[in-house]
């Protein structure tokens, strides 16, 4: 697996990440969602540079222009519900991409033990396509692994997979590095060193789903 940390270089992305982390700004759920969408657009632009391109003729009012555009068929998946704004930002960049949606949940056992299950999933065919999976936070990597397995069960095997997780823990990055092969690329904007016994990323940003859409019972 390849890891790309866009937060290691100076760009406007760091401003957006600063705002989604800021406890004061987080009180405005519209702004939180908008910032996640902006983050998605930045990641989409960066990912676009990895796709396969070919030259094509485009007819203008005055002649024909030769333009290089990408040919890679894409599917963009959101892990519900926190991944939706991030997916929307990616779709702003890749407007012809297909979409997939799935939900994951934790089933807790004794102590801090839990297992992650992928529940609802709707997915087009992934055969021969590039899959982008959007989830704002990567705590242990278990939800992402479960989501990847469920998506390929439903849609078949993608040729290439990009995981877009703006805030990740060091633990999750290390776990996925051990388990995923070269077909996978993990895109992050920040890697936080601390993960609590309850699997909260420190400093993290809180519960992205609640911040985007309100709390739950």
Q: What is the DSSP string of 60-87?
A: ETTEEEEEEEE---EEEEEEETTHHHHH
What predicted TM-score, i.e. pTM, was given to this entire model?
A: 0.92
Q: HSE of 10 in the Cβ direction (CA atoms, 13 Å)?
A: 0
Q: Residue 82 corresponds to which tokens in the numbers above? A: 């926190």
The answer to whether the CB of 80 falls within 8 A of the CB of 136 is: no
CATH for 2-51+71-213? 3.40.50.2020
pLDDT digits (tens, 9 = 90+) for 64-104: 999 999 999 999 999 988 999 999 999 999 999 999 999 87
Residue from 74, 13, 79, 22 nearest 46 by CA: 13
d(CA 157, CA 129): 8
Q: Residue 101 corresponds to which tokens in the numbers above? A: 């949606």
d(CA 116, CA 142): 6
Query: Percentage of the chain with pLDDT > 90?
Result: 86
d(CA 64, CA 1): 41
Mean pLDDT value across the chain: 93
Residues 6+ apart with CB under 8 A from 175: 140, 141
pLDDT digits (tens, 9 = 90+) for 104-132: 765 545 555 445 566 789 999 999 999 99
Q: Provide Rg for the chain, Cα atoms.
A: 18
Q: Is the pLDDT of residue 175 over 60?
A: yes
Domains of the chain, residue spans:
2-51+71-213
- Determine the 3-state secondary structure of 90 from DSSP: helix
Torsion angle in degrees (nearest 10) through CA of 119, 120, 126, 132? -80
């Amino acid at each position: 697996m390849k890891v790309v940390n866009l937060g290691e270089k100076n760009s406007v992305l760091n401003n957006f990440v600063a705002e989604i982390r800021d406890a004061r700004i987080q009180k405005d759920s519209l702004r939180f969602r908008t910032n996640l969408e902006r983050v998605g657009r930045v990641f989409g632009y960066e990912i676009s540079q990895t796709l396969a391109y070919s030259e094509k003729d485009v007819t203008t009012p005055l002649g024909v222009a030769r333009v290089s555009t990408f040919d890679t068929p894409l599917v963009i998946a959101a892990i519900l519900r926190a991944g939706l704004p991030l997916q929307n930002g990616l779709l702003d960049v890749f407007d012809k991409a297909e979409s997939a949606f799935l939900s994951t949940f934790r089933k807790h056992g004794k102590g801090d033990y839990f297992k992650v299950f992928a529940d609802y999933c709707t997915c087009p065919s992934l055969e021969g396509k590039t899959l982008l999976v959007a989830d704002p936070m990567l705590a242990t990597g278990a939800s992402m692994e479960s989501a990847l397995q469920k998506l390929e069960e439903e849609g078949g095997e993608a040729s290439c997979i990009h995981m877009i997780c703006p805030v990740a823990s060091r633990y999750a990055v290390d776990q996925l590095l051990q388990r995923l092969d070269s077909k996978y690329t993990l895109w992050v904007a920040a890697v936080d060193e601390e993960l609590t016994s309850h699997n909260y990323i420190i400093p993290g940003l809180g519960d992205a789903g609640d911040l985007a859409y309100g709390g739950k019972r």
